[in-house]
Amino acid sequence: MAAQTFLLPDLGEGLTEAEVVRWLVAEGDTVAVDQSIVEVETAKSMVEVPSPFAGRVETLHAAPGATVAVGKPLITVAAPAPAVVAAATYREEEQAGSGNVLIGYGTSGGTATGRRRRPRNSNVRPSAPAVPAAPAVPATPATPAAPDASDASDAPTRRVPLVISPLVRNLARANGVDLRAVQATGEGGVITRSDVERAAERPAPAPATAVAGERRVPLNGFRKAVSAALSRSRAEIPEATVWVDVDATDLWRLRESNPAGPGLLAYIARFVVAGLREYPVFNARLDAERQEIVEFDQVHLGIAVQGERGLVVPAVIGADGMTTAQLDTEIRRLTASAREGRSTTRELSAGTFTLNNYGAFRVDGSAAIINHPQVAILGLGRIIDRPWVVDGQLCVRKITQMSFVFDHRVCDGGTAAGFMRSVADAIEDPASVIARL
């Protein structure tokens, strides 16, 4: 029997850690290659991680609720010699980029048991923002690789610690030493026992003292990612906001005339897509380095969804080619998956424009933050009865407020107002607009 330790792989999108939600196997269980062994939560979504090894589970290296860094031990499996050979073949395929199960992982043979994660959609159109493939993360190395000098400036933040000896790992664990922060002196950047002992002798930073009446709640991986994304958007994008009150009475009546038909959001999504055809500058991103506006041929319409984990924005891929009914079906599916934390990486990263229905929270307006690297976001408030003047007569109508936030670098207010009126006019006279679509 030979023990093989599986390190948490790179889950893509620059993620550096994941939280263990629940183990799908227990110590002593027998697992097969490609069998799902653990469910982890990343800053993007819930992911089932498959095993690259077959054999008996010896050690689960993290308890449910623990955060594991990419490159840290996840599970140790004891396998007979033939299985070790198979695992080596598996690694060759992994390095070739088969990517059949998880980013950087996959096999061409062997029967998998247990649940499988749905394969990534590799049919990405050239015009859409590309989803980068993540490199494979190797198992515990037999010999350390020399660090790349070109990455020296980034080493303290993204270096995966090189530890060969399990005794060194145990020593670090027993002394509460974070191996990522240890200065390695071994050949090729390997962390030695003396390195860990020196790190253990240094006094740990004093924990923050809570003032009476305060309670400190650490940010989880999801909130950290949200914080970084929103901070980047506000730091890089000079945004401007315009808004307008819209008479949605006719749209409301159209929806009520066919209760089994598409929902209001699907109609508005259709009008947004039509508006983006007329004003393609908003279905774009800004290449600041080359000083170019990059417009996309297709509309991948992001839909802001509030789930248990927080706000996510999965995209309706190819929304510009869908009917209102098809948009309704896809929006409902995306919303349900997002609320369960099951959105795919592709869905969460492909958006070219965002539609935010904050009216679902019974509010009228919002100065939303643009979903970087997009250049605009359209928000819709609640639809309520308000006094309104129609043909000189005061009456009660279904009124909503729309807000539009855009990157002022790509256009000026006149263009933004033109797009917003295009959508507003369609909401106010939906029948005539749908007839032309």
- Tell me how far apart the alpha carbons of residues 274 and 282 are, in angstroms, rounded to a whole number: 12
- Tell me how far apart the alpha carbons of residues 243 and 405 are, in angstroms, rounded to a whole number: 9
Q: Is the pLDDT of residue 166 over 50?
A: yes
Q: Given this model, what pLDDT does residue 157 score?
A: 43
| pLDDT band of 150, cuts 50, 70, 90 | very low
CB contact at 8 A, 22 and 40: no
pLDDT tens-place string over residues 418-436: 999 999 999 999 988 887 8
Which candidate in 61, 300, 372, 408 is catalytic?
A: 408
* Cα-Cα-Cα-Cα dihedral sign, residues 352, 357, 358, 363: positive
Q: Given this model, what pLDDT does residue 127 score?
A: 43
Q: Given this model, what pLDDT does residue 165 score?
A: 60
- Tell me how far apart the alpha carbons of residues 255 and 223 are, in angstroms, rounded to a whole number: 37
Percent over 90 (pLDDT), the chain: 49
- Tell me how far apart the alpha carbons of residues 233 and 374 are, in angstroms, rounded to a whole number: 9
Among residues 165, 417, 182, 128, the alpha carbon closest in space to that of 301 is found at: 128
CB contact at 8 A, 7 and 162: no
Mean predicted confidence (pLDDT) in 21-38? 90
Q: Given this model, what pLDDT does residue 418 score?
A: 97
Q: What is the DSSP string of 79-108?
A: E-HHHHHHHHHHHHHHHTT--SSBTTB--S
Here the tokens at position 319 are 């929304």
- Tell me how far apart the alpha carbons of residues 137 and 52 are, in angstroms, rounded to a whole number: 11
pLDDT tens-place string over residues 388-397: 999 999 999 9
Where is pLDDT greater, at 338 or 168? 338
Q: Is the pLDDT of residue 149 over 60?
A: no
Where is pLDDT greater, at 312 or 157? 312
Q: What is the mean pLDDT of the chain?
A: 81
What amino acid is encoded at 395 in this protein?
A: C
- Tell me how far apart the alpha carbons of residues 182 and 199 are, in angstroms, rounded to a whole number: 6
| pLDDT band of 218, cuts 50, 70, 90 | confident
- pTM of the entire predicted model: 0.60
Residue 408 catalytic?
yes
Residues in the chain: 437
The CA distances from residue 26 to 37, 73, 109, in Å, are 9, 16, 25
| pLDDT band of 161, cuts 50, 70, 90 | low
Mean predicted confidence (pLDDT) in 32-55? 83
Among residues 400, 320, 399, 404, the alpha carbon closest in space to that of 354 is found at: 404
- Tell me how far apart the alpha carbons of residues 354 and 230 are, in angstroms, rounded to a whole number: 14
Q: Given this model, what pLDDT does residue 263 score?
A: 96
Q: Can you tell me whether residue 397 is helix, strand or coil?
A: strand
Where is pLDDT greater, at 391 or 183? 391
Q: Is 99 left (phi over 0), alpha (psi -120 to 50) or beta?
A: left
What DSSP designation does 362 have? T
Here the tokens at position 170 are 């145990």
Q: Is the pLDDT of residue 257 over 80?
A: yes
Where is pLDDT greater, at 184 or 24? 24
Q: Of 29-43, 275-289, 352-366, 406-420, where does mean pLDDT reach its minimum?
A: 29-43
Q: Given this model, what pLDDT does residue 201 score?
A: 77
- Tell me how far apart the alpha carbons of residues 350 and 315 are, in angstroms, rounded to a whole number: 6
Among residues 403, 405, 408, the alpha carbon closest in space to that of 381 is found at: 403
Q: Given this model, what pLDDT does residue 19 score?
A: 86
| pLDDT band of 240, cuts 50, 70, 90 | very high
Among residues 74, 104, 75, 109, the alpha carbon closest in space to that of 89 is found at: 109
| pLDDT band of 124, cuts 50, 70, 90 | very low
Q: Is the pLDDT of residue 156 over 60?
A: no
Q: Which domains does the chain have, with CATH numbers?
A: 1-139 (2.40.50.100), 141-216 (4.10.320.10), 222-436 (3.30.559.10)
Q: Given this model, what pLDDT does residue 42 score?
A: 76
Mean predicted confidence (pLDDT) in 411-420? 97
Among residues 218, 215, 223, the alpha carbon closest in space to that of 309 is found at: 223
Q: Given this model, what pLDDT does residue 167 score?
A: 62
Place of tokens 């492909």: 350
Provide the angle, in degrees to the nearest 10, between the axes of the packed helices 264-278 and 249-256: 130
Where is pLDDT greater, at 112 or 338? 338
Q: Is 209 exposed, middle or buried (0-12, 13-18, 19+ CB in 10 A)?
A: exposed
Q: Given this model, what pLDDT does residue 120 score?
A: 41
- Tell me how far apart the alpha carbons of residues 167 and 175 are, in angstroms, rounded to a whole number: 12
What amino acid is encoded at 400 in this protein?
A: T
Q: Which residues pair with 404 in a beta bridge?
A: 242, 378
The CA distances from residue 334 to 108, 154, 316, in Å, are 31, 36, 8
Q: What is the DSSP string of 176-211?
A: T--GGG----SGGGBPPHHHHHHHHHSPPPPPPPPP
Q: Given this model, what pLDDT does residue 92 score?
A: 43
